[in-house]
Amino acid sequence: MLYPVHFPRNFLQFLISVILFYSIFGQISLESALIGGIAFTLSYQFTYALNDAIDYKYDIKDKSIIKKKLALHYPLHSGVVKTKELLLFSSAVFVIGTLLASKINLTFFTIQMSLLIFTFFHSNPFFRIKKFSLLLYANMIVIQFIKFSLGWFTQTTTFESFPFWLFVLLSSFYVLVYRIYKSHFSAQFSLFNISNLFVISILIISFIFSLLLYKMPLAIGMTTLFGLFCYYYSTRLKSLKQKMQIGMILIYIMSLFAIISIILVRTDSTLYSVNYNLIQALNEFSKLF
């Protein structure tokens, strides 16, 4: 695994939609979920390698980028491999992941391929997308939306009961966390930057629709509060290395916390009751409009 630091995060993102599918329909194919998860995480290694290969000549001119990628043990920046070796190995892993994806179903395979295309569009300097901040972050939300929802299609080829707004909520929240992460969890992170306002607007809209449409307001609320706590904790860290490493761990924990919240709300009788009361309160509130 060339980029082990990203594996837990990607797999947890993938797992969230599998858990959501189970919470709605009551059954899943563990074999399809496992093969799909491996297919996705393997093939997605290629995007990290390609991005590093493209950006390397620019990265080495920026000490802060080099410092961050060394802290995360990126193979090219750490000197573990050369560019040609990195691309050859990641290409082989990509082929294996793609072949596994084709074994699931056509819908899963098509969506995974579209994810790689959107990611390539994001990374390739030919498209110059990074010069247009709104387009850049809109594309990032699409990428994260596909990553969060991909596991769903290991279980079905249709969009029946597909929780669209919940995946938009998770995706926009993730991109906002990414923006904060890129600012090194600075307490001076500006909410009034146009890109941040765009992401926050999508987040608020999807949050409202998710609360009103889906029967998990407690899980959504718990995850949101936990995310705010993680942000506060991260701003208290002093060194850049701590912020990069612990910040990445907190992103993993937040994904795991979202999964655990969904499971607990569905299985624990007390939390189920609280969640039901919140649903009733939201239904009464929505009648006012």
Whether residue 44 is contained in a domain is answered as yes
Weakly modelled stretches of the chain, pLDDT under 70 = 1-2, 4-5, 59, 62-73, 75-79, 123-132, 181-192, 231, 234-235, 237-252, 286, 288-289
Give how far Cα 120 sits from Cα of 107, 116, 130, 190, Å. 20, 6, 12, 28
CATH of the domain at 129: 1.10.357.140
Whether residue 130 is contained in a domain is answered as yes
Query: For position 288, what pLDDT does the model report?
Result: 67
Ramachandran category for residue 79: left, alpha or beta (phi over 0 → left; psi -120 to 50 → alpha): left
pLDDT tens across 167-192, in order? 998 898 888 877 776 665 554 556 66
pLDDT tens across 247-271, in order? 666 666 777 777 778 777 777 788 8
Whether residue 11 is contained in a domain is answered as yes
Domain region containing 13: 7-162
**The pair of three-digit structure tokens given for residue 62, joined into one six-digit string:** 């920026």
Whether residue 182 is contained in a domain is answered as no
Are residues 214 and 165 in contact, defined by beta-carbon separation less than 8 angstroms? yes
Whether residue 139 is contained in a domain is answered as yes
* Distinct helix (H) and strand (E) counts, the chain: 12, 0
Number of domains in the chain: 1
Whether residue 29 is contained in a domain is answered as yes
Query: For position 24, what pLDDT does the model report?
Result: 81
Query: For position 29, what pLDDT does the model report?
Result: 94
* Predicted TM-score (pTM) of this structure: 0.78
Give how far Cα 194 sits from Cα of 131, 134, 191, 202, Å. 14, 8, 8, 13
C-alpha to C-alpha distance for 7 and 238, rounded to whole angstroms: 26
Whether residue 116 is contained in a domain is answered as yes
What values do phi and psi take at 62, rounded to 5? Answer: -120, 110
Whether residue 131 is contained in a domain is answered as yes
pLDDT tens across 207-237, in order? 888 877 777 788 878 877 887 777 677 667 6
